[in-house]
A and B are shown apart, each in its own frame.
Chain A
Amino acid sequence: MIAIIDYEAGNLRSVERALKYLGLACRITSSAEEILSSDRVVFPGVGAAGKAMEVLRSRNLLQVIHNVIARKTPFLGICLGAQILLDKSEENNTECLKMISGTARKFADMNLKIPHMGWNNLSIVHPHPILEGIDPRVQFYFVHSYYPEPAKQEDMIATTDYGIRFASVIGKENVVATQFHPEKSGREGLRILVNFSRWDGKPGHFDDSVLGV
């Protein structure tokens, strides 16, 4: 069972639809028990960092997220869910979850259209099981005004160019997070969700028996 953490964050149902279409059992939930007992956790999000952290706090989900990550449960953040895994966000000057060290920063180049909206490429910095089999030429769907800036190079899995080169996939141990929306990125996006559903939470470990389909 994949738990989709429910914190009123916009695209929960899009993620649920994509997982169901793929035949993956999932449940939108804010129950600590359900989240902690699930095999995998998806942490989606659309909206503002300040409000998101407020809702997580009011639903007592901060500790639950820390605990489920500490249990080594494979954990996938998406969009805002990627940004608030960092220490803090420039959006509303928000203290965040501190699961990966770094900051979510605002795109500052005035010559660029903000939000960064549309399909853009990835350059893989550190191969990761969730990107297994992804054609390097394909693009993914982004819509965001802030981007993750992990403090450590080793937590950067893939980058994307939009005026600057930013980290579009970040990860550490059993946590991985995409700034783009795999659930809205066509077939290659769905492949990322399938990869996640088969990932055992160990970065850099390509278990052929799991991923070799």
Chain B
Amino acid sequence: MLSKRIIICLDVREGKTTKGIRFQGNIDVGDPVAMAREYYEQGADELVFYDITASSDQRDILIDVVENVAGNIFIPFSVGGGIRTVDDMYRVLNAGAEKISVNTAAVLTPDLISQGARFFGSQCIVLGMDAKRVGKSDRISSGYEVWINGGRTPMNMDAVEWAKKAQDLGAGEICLNSIDTDGTNLGYELMITSMISKAVSIPVIASGGAGKPEHLRDVFIKSGADAALIASMVHYRQYTIGQLKSYLAEEGIPVRTLV
């Protein structure tokens, strides 16, 4: 049976992991390759690196990180943040990433999705989407709106419609982040995850809000997500991936076996 995936999200700025592992209250700015390796060994199913480097002249550092990760861990990983052109995609994929994630640039230039799918195949193109609950209106029939620029700019676009359009353009997967639940540790936004999961036939990754193992169970059982993104609950060592998987397996959710 196909396993539900647990994907670890690593934020990278200028080649360093920013949400590093916390030791006695200090944020340790981590080495992304070492962290990737640790999660690989713990049994992560997949990794995502979000490049939050402000300036584009630092991109070469990211490429080095991607190459290093690719040479040392042997599970799929994707890279997002600042990818605006097919050439950006090519560099990251060629350095060894499995997939690239586009968010703001895809909203501003939807053709980026179709170009990427044409050049590299749909399986390489993940649509990242930040959605916010705003209430139903004529333009926003689902009640959830797409925001860009890291959740700072509302686009007056319906999240479910955008998911469907991205699928038609050739996206192979959707990583749906809820602005409302992100960083709260109170659980995923089940409603929008469920709506998008039903509306598209490509896999959906739920993101934003994971704080407890029960949150993963709920998003898999109640919203039909294919994968769940987690960050702080493992970065701060509250849980190991093994603990999360044991819990999910006991709850009857198919997860990848660790041996």
Contact = CB atoms under 8 A, between A and B. Distances in A.
A119 B121 contact: no
B96 A141 contact: no
A143 B124 CA distance: 10
Interface in B186-242: 201-203, 226-227
Interface string A174-213: 0000000001111111100000000000000000000000
Contacts of B4: 118
B240 to A, nearest CB: 16
Interface in A14-35: 14, 17-18, 20-21
A47 B74 contact: no
Contacts of A118: 2-5, 45, 203, 226-227
From DSSP, what is the main secondary structure of chain A's interface residues?
A: mixed
B76 A184 contact: yes
A113 interface: yes
Contact of B3 (A10, A120, A190): A120
Nearest to A136: B257
A143 B123 contact: yes
B120 interface: yes
Given A118-B226, A162-B2, A189 B45 contact: no
Contacts of B72: 21
Given A135-B259, A139-B3, A17 B71 contact: yes
B123 A120 contact: no
B75 A186 contact: yes
Contact of A119 (B40, B71, B202, B256): B256
Contacts of B3: 118-120, 139
Contacts of B122: 115
A10 B96 contact: no
A189 B74 CA distance: 8
Nearest to A139: B256
Given A113-B201, A141-B75, A184-B74, A120 B1 contact: yes
Interface string B233-259: 000000000000000000000001101
A161 B1 contact: yes
A171 B202 CA distance: 30
Contacts of B11: none
Contacts of A21: 71-72, 74
Contacts of B75: 141, 184-186
Contacts of B256: 119, 138-139
A14 B259 contact: no
B94 interface: yes
Contact of A114 (B70, B98, B201): B201
Contacts of B121: 10, 46-48
A20 B226 CA distance: 32
Nearest to B1: A161
Interface string A44-68: 0011100000000000000000000
A143 B76 CA distance: 10
Q: Which of B5, B45, B123 has the most CB of A within 10 A?
A: B123
Interface string B22-56: 00000000000000000010010100000000000
A162 B226 CA distance: 14
A139 B257 CA distance: 7
Interface of B: 1-5, 40, 43, 45, 70-72, 74-76, 94, 96, 98, 120-123, 172-173, 201-203, 226-227, 256-257, 259
Interface of A: 10, 13-14, 17-18, 20-21, 46-48, 110, 113-121, 135, 137-139, 141, 143, 161-162, 183-190
Given A114-B202, A138-B256, A186-B74, 11 more contacts: A13-B94, A21-B71, A117-B172, A117-B173, A118-B4, A119-B45, A135-B257, A139-B256, A141-B76, A188-B259, A189-B74
Which 5 interchain pairs have the tightest Cβ spacing? A119-B256, A119-B3, A137-B257, A139-B256, A135-B259
